Structure 1
Amino acid sequence: MDGRKPALKSPQKLSLLSSPVRAIIRLRRTAHILKKSFPAGDPQAKLLQRQISLGKAKLGSTSASLLSQASFESSQYFTFDTSVQPPVTRSSKRKKRHRNPRVLYPGTSKKYLPTEHKSKAKRCLLLLIAIICFQILNAIENLDDNLLKYDLDGLEKTMQREVFGQTLAVESLMGLLKDYLATHTHNKPLVISFNGPSGVGKSHIGWLLAKHFRSVTGHHSVLHYFTMHHCPDNVSTSACQLDLSKAISNMVTQAEIEEKIPLFILDEVELMPPALLETLSRFFQMNQTNEFLNAMYILISKVGGNEIMNVLLQNISGDPLPQPQRKMELLQEALRPVLSRIHPLWTLAEIVPFVLLEKGHILSCFYEEMMSEGIYPDPSHVESLAGQLSYYTQGGQQYATTGCKQVVAKVNLL
């Protein structure tokens, strides 16, 4: 209307339309060539004609859709920028990840876990643990077997039945014997010193020890030494030293061959001359051969009896001792200075103090002695015999001054 030329189509529309037009032209040329090569009534020519018409219809629809898309993109009202894509947020990524389907196994199939490679070091570690446990078990069994050989449980029951009023002394003695006899190899000999007043049961326990160990180890493994009998006043001290040294050496050598621990019970040690004590102390040292380290020595003496009596009577008159173990410690502390002044060999010994016996213990001694002699223990008769002895009276308690030492003489007069 205004004389201007109509605007040309955009190059984008030409590019969209050129490809379908070219395809239609190619199909027509191909169809024209095929019509010439096949006659008009041939069925293959009819089939080919149908395929060409279908191809034209598809190409026509494609071109129509492309034209509509081109007109939509060239709309003057709406414009869409397809080159810029919206930003992808983390939430969308997470949603996409969650949308991924899980891998589900069929119900009939078997699930195989990943194979684990076993390390050879674990096997070696288990083998080492098994060896250590076996060694520990074997060592414990050996300790039990060694203690069973000496039958210390039977010895303890015998002492509890026949020894009166010395519960702490018996417990301390049995603890030392069990610890020492648990093994055969030691770094020093066991030296135990029985100290206390006369008649409280020291020599009686020594006699029970000698009787028990002779029955379990043999007579040649036990020496019961009495100073007044084996070393009287008319015998020289040098001869006594030689005899004692020879007896100890022979017994220790024989016991080592038989894998036994010998026992030496030395009674009346307070009557031994200093030279004999010096000879005896040489066997208590640690710098000796192995056979001399595997030996037990029991020293029985009245040394320290007065100190024990004073400690007991003072504690009875004052505050009583709360614990038996504390009572034993106080008695040991009172005895050590006295014993060390006599000879240094007591510094190498385990001190076992024996306390005073009460009147009830004296009555038990009379009953036991009369039963052993075949005399009926009439209670009134026993009371009258016990009343003939002398006692310390302190804090409402009576303690025999001579213990059970005069009981045997009283019973023999019946």
Structure 2
Amino acid sequence: MEERDLCAEAPKRPQKICMVSPVRAVVHLRRKIRILRKSRLQIDLTGKKSSESAQPRLVQKQKMLVDTVGFQKPQYFTFDTPSLERVSIVKQRRRKKYRKSRAVLYPENIKKHLPLEHKSKATRCLLLLTAIICFQILNAIENLDDNLEKYDLDGLEKTLQREVFGQKIAIENIMNLLKDYLATHIHNKPLVMSVHGPSGVGKSYVGRLLARHFRAIMDGEFVLQYFVMHHCPADENVFSCQLNLSSKISAMVSQAELDERIPVFIIDEVEMMPPALLDTLSGFFQTNQTNEYLNAIYVLISNIGGSEITKYVLHNASNDILHSHIMSGDLVSAIRTSLQQNHPLFNYADIIPFILLERSHIVHCFLDELMREGFYPDNNHIETLAGQINYYTIQGRQYSTTGCKLVGAKVSLL
């Protein structure tokens, strides 16, 4: 009523002034709709439903107004984000991750090149190190071959195989020991070879061949051929023999070290050597010496163990069985037990047994001796001379009791 009166009292005003009340109502309704929408949005974000309470509408409106004001202008700063916003942020991040990178476009007038691979310098150093090692190994192998060629061991082996009959395994053992030892000039012990066997099987002859070969190679300065019965007879003072032998060995060893040579000492008739002289000789076989005494070769020749070798050969008369036993070392172990009772000197030596010679070997000895003396080789004559030698006959085989020792005497009587 009041509004109508106001309109009546002011007739001169424009007509749109009378439309104030409907406009206010519309604005008021729009505000309420906004407030309701904002309150619902806040409830959805917080996840809480509004409880229907029996409070008056005025109090509920005030709370809604407070909530909306707080939603529009928060009083406190917080890092918590609503759940919907979090989900949207996560989706955006995932989209960013799965975005494909754009293809790089090159101009058409430019050639495409693959990226260069940077090689590491460590590979070059590794290749250089392997090359140096291979060169050193090759140089060492060549040095070994040079040392063997310097001593002409191939020629020595051919000479021994040609001149010595019936001792193939013994010659192979001697050559293997010499090749292993003479391959280098630095050693931790001297090489001691002890040759054993009965009379006439070729022990002393092998010693003479070794002395002749190394004298031709080293001009005779570093080879000593020592015969006990000649250099130290029974009536000679043993002390003087000790001084003589030790002085000769020391002088040759010192000179050979200066010339980078390995001296060779061939001592025959060791079974006749006095115990004191054996003690002096064994002192040079020790390992706690200077380098020049460690670089030396000693060849000991004796008849010690000859009876054991004869028994062993006759017990194993079959040729195949005998050779297999020699290669397995059974004969060496049988000889070493008898040598240990004689002197501990032989504990430092490599035992090389020389076995009995068969009748075929005696025939070769006669043929070789006749050729040297200038006789015509007649087979019937040779068989007649070979029949004059005494033999051990067992299982259809004949083994000479004296070897080739009497061959020279028989030929000289012709």
- Confirm or deny a common fold (TM above 0.5): yes
Q: Given the superposition, is the C-alpha separation of residues 131 and 383 from structure 1 closer, same or farther in structure 2, using an over 3 Å criterion?
A: same
1:124 corresponding residue in structure 2: 125
2:157 corresponding residue in structure 1: 156
In the alignment, the residues of structure 2 paired with residue 133 and residue 325 of structure 1 have an alpha-carbon distance, to the nearest angstrom, of 41
Q: For structure 2, list consecutive stretches of 5 or more residues without a partner in the other structure.
A: 1-97
Within 5 Å, give how 1:103-118 maps onto structure 2: 110-118=111-119
Q: What root-mean-square deviation, in Å, do the aligned CA atoms of Structure 1 and Structure 2 show? A: 2.2
1:399 corresponding residue in structure 2: 399
TM-score, length of structure 1 as denominator length:
0.73
Preserved CA contact (<8 Å) 1:267 1:300: yes
Within 5 Å, give how 1:261-280 maps onto structure 2: 261-280=262-281
2:283 corresponding residue in structure 1: 282
Aligned sequence identity (%): 63
1:87 corresponding residue in structure 2: none
In the alignment, the residues of structure 2 paired with residue 285 and residue 149 of structure 1 have an alpha-carbon distance, to the nearest angstrom, of 27
Shift of 1:312: 1.3
Within 5 Å, give how 1:197-346 maps onto structure 2: 197-316=198-317, 320-321=320-321, 324=324, 326-327=326-327, 329-346=329-346
Q: Report the secondary structure of 2:317's partner residue.
A: helix
1:350 partnered with 2:355:
no
Shift of 1:330: 1.2
Q: Given the superposition, is the C-alpha separation of residues 118 and 239 from structure 1 closer, same or farther in structure 2, using an over 3 Å criterion?
A: same
Q: Which amino acid aligns with 2:396?
A: G
2:368 corresponding residue in structure 1: 368
Q: Given the superposition, is the C-alpha separation of residues 147 and 356 from structure 1 closer, same or farther in structure 2, using an over 3 Å criterion?
A: same
Poorly superposed stretches of 4+, deviation over 6 Å: 100-109
Q: Report the secondary structure of 1:219's partner residue.
A: coil
Q: Which amino acid aligns with 2:218?
A: T
Q: Report the secondary structure of 1:122's partner residue.
A: helix
2:56 corresponding residue in structure 1: none
TM-score, length of structure 2 as denominator length:
0.73
Q: Given the superposition, is the C-alpha separation of residues 195 and 323 from structure 1 closer, same or farther in structure 2, using an over 3 Å criterion?
A: closer
Q: Report the secondary structure of 2:221's partner residue.
A: helix
In the alignment, the residues of structure 2 paired with residue 107 and residue 196 of structure 1 have an alpha-carbon distance, to the nearest angstrom, of 95
Q: Given the superposition, is the C-alpha separation of residues 180 and 256 from structure 1 closer, same or farther in structure 2, using an over 3 Å criterion?
A: same
Q: Which amino acid aligns with 2:114?
A: L
1:191 corresponding residue in structure 2: 192
Q: For structure 1, list consecutive stretches of 5 or more residues without a partner in the other structure.
A: 1-96
Q: Given the superposition, is the C-alpha separation of residues 121 and 401 from structure 1 closer, same or farther in structure 2, using an over 3 Å criterion?
A: same
Shift of 1:328: 5.3
In the alignment, the residues of structure 2 paired with residue 350 and residue 308 of structure 1 have an alpha-carbon distance, to the nearest angstrom, of 16
Q: Report the secondary structure of 1:261's partner residue.
A: coil
Q: Which amino acid aligns with 1:251?
A: M
Aligned residues: 316
List per-residue Cα deviations over 1:35-69 (Å, max 9, x = no partner): xxxxxxxxxxxxxxxxxxxxxxxxxxxxxxxxxxx
Q: Given the superposition, is the C-alpha separation of residues 111 and 391 from structure 1 closer, same or farther in structure 2, using an over 3 Å criterion?
A: farther
Preserved CA contact (<8 Å) 1:168 1:324: no
List per-residue Cα deviations over 1:304-342 (Å, max 9, x = no partner): 01101111111127x952854654511101100111110
